[in-house]
Each structure stands twice: as structure tokens, then as C-alpha cells.
Amino acid sequence: MNHPILEDLQWRYTTKRYDKTQKVAPEALAVLLEALRLSASSINSQPWRFIVLESDEAKARMLCAVAEKYPFNQPAVLDSSHVILFAYHPHYHREAYAEVVDGGIADGRILAAKREEAFGAFRFAEMNMDETGDNSAWTRAQTYLALGNALHTLARLRIDSTTMEGIDIEAIQVEFAKELGDYRCAVALAIGYRHPQEDWNATLPKSRRRPEDIFVHLV
């Protein structure tokens, strides 16, 4: 089957070794960040924050998250061009949603007269909330939509990437406490360009479950 979307998805893979000398151009990074911003989320909640680590100094701050427990991710952190931390708000509350509603009014999507009505959608955040106001399972899921969007955007840009759940979240929360604020890191994404010789994963064939094992198609 041939299609440009499938070519993108066949092209991409999880890069294990980067060419340290190649940086992602600012224009391409801007496209990626705009794609992240445009990601879909339940009730348009956008309960996320993305911390972009660009300089060697900034990326070195992530060493605490990989050096001990997840050394296999260390090369991606140190030799990639950028690392992006995907963070979610674990207690997404009505005031946070007010920013979305008021943004919708400013953008002409919601009528000012219907402001209160627009808060009706917030019941989805409440349905996923426990008695302490924690709706982190729901907000965390939204950040993975942005992650999926990023992976395809990067493939289209022919920029390599490494998704990393193998990071010490507690260490990240401490090291990036100021930048994360109320947000909690879910996953990190290294981006850059594969090492032409050292990335063994680049030449392995893609392997996925068979269509008949995953699709139930009612026609």
C-alpha cells in the first residue's frame, strides 16, 4: 500500500543514537511547536505544558532522570538536538478551563453571551475527577495525543525522535520544579538526526501486530 502518510510512518522509528553535530533548525522546531499547540484534546482542555530543552546545559539537567535508572536513554538525552518534556495538569480545575472558554470567545468560536453554557463541557473533567480533585489519568491521556501528533509531524519533517517513558519522573519534578510549576511530567521526547553509523535501530525492519489481530471491521 502506497501513501505519503504511510511513507512517513514507515520512515520514522525510535532513534537510539544521534549525530551530536546536527541541530534541528529553528524553523522546523517552530513547526513542531505549532503542531503541538494545535493538538486535539478532550473539551479542548489543553491541560499540558511542554518544556523545551535546547542548550547542552538545559539537556544536562535531565541527566538526573536517566543516569542511574535508565542509562539506555542517556545517549538520546545528551546527543539529540532538543528534548521536550510533556507535562499534564493533575488537578485540572474550572479556573483552568475558564482560560480555554475565554480564549474561545476571543477567537470567535464561543459567543460571549454563551460563556456560562460553555462551562457545561467541564463535566467531562469532573467525571474523571476523584474527591481530591485529581483528574490526572484523564489529563495525562491528553498529553499522549500531543505526543502522537508530534511523532507524525516529526516524521513528515524527516526529523528523528525518541519517545522516553524511561525517565525518573520524581527526579525531573525536583530538577524542573520551577519550569513545571503545577504540572507533572509524563514522558520526554528527544529530537534530532540519527547517527549515520552507530544507530543499530535505523536498519531494523518495522514490526507490528497483524491487521487481522487488531481490527474488528463491521461492514
Ligand X SMILES: Cc1cc2nc3c(=O)[nH]c(=O)nc-3n(C[C@H](O)[C@H](O)[C@H](O)COP(=O)(O)O)c2cc1C
Residues that bind ligand X (CB under 6 A): 13-14, 73, 162-166, 187, 206
Is the sign of the CA dihedral 139, 143, 146, 152 positive or negative? negative
Please report the DSSP string for 80-140 in residue order: SSEEEEEEE-TT--HHHHHHHHHHHHHTTSS-GGGHHHHGGGGHHHHHT--TTS--HHHHH
Distance, in Å, from the CA atom of 18 to the CA atom of 160, rounded to the nearest integer, reads: 9
Minimum distance of ligand X from residue 203's CB (angstroms): 11
Smaller CB separation from ligand X, 8 or 134:
8
Minimum distance of ligand X from residue 212's CB (angstroms): 20
What's the grid cell of residue 172?
Answer: 525531573
Within 10 Å of residue 25's Cβ, how many Cβ atoms? 12
3-state secondary structure of 38: coil
Supply the DSSP symbol for 205.
Answer: P
Smaller CB separation from ligand X, 18 or 183:
18
Minimum distance of ligand X from residue 197's CB (angstroms): 18
Smaller CB separation from ligand X, 104 or 166:
166
Smaller CB separation from ligand X, 125 or 150:
150
Minimum distance of ligand X from residue 145's CB (angstroms): 12
Residue pair 205/159 in contact by the 8 Å Cβ criterion = no
Minimum distance of ligand X from residue 217's CB (angstroms): 24
Question: Which residue of the chain is nearest ligand X when measured via CB?
Answer: 166
Smaller CB separation from ligand X, 77 or 125:
77
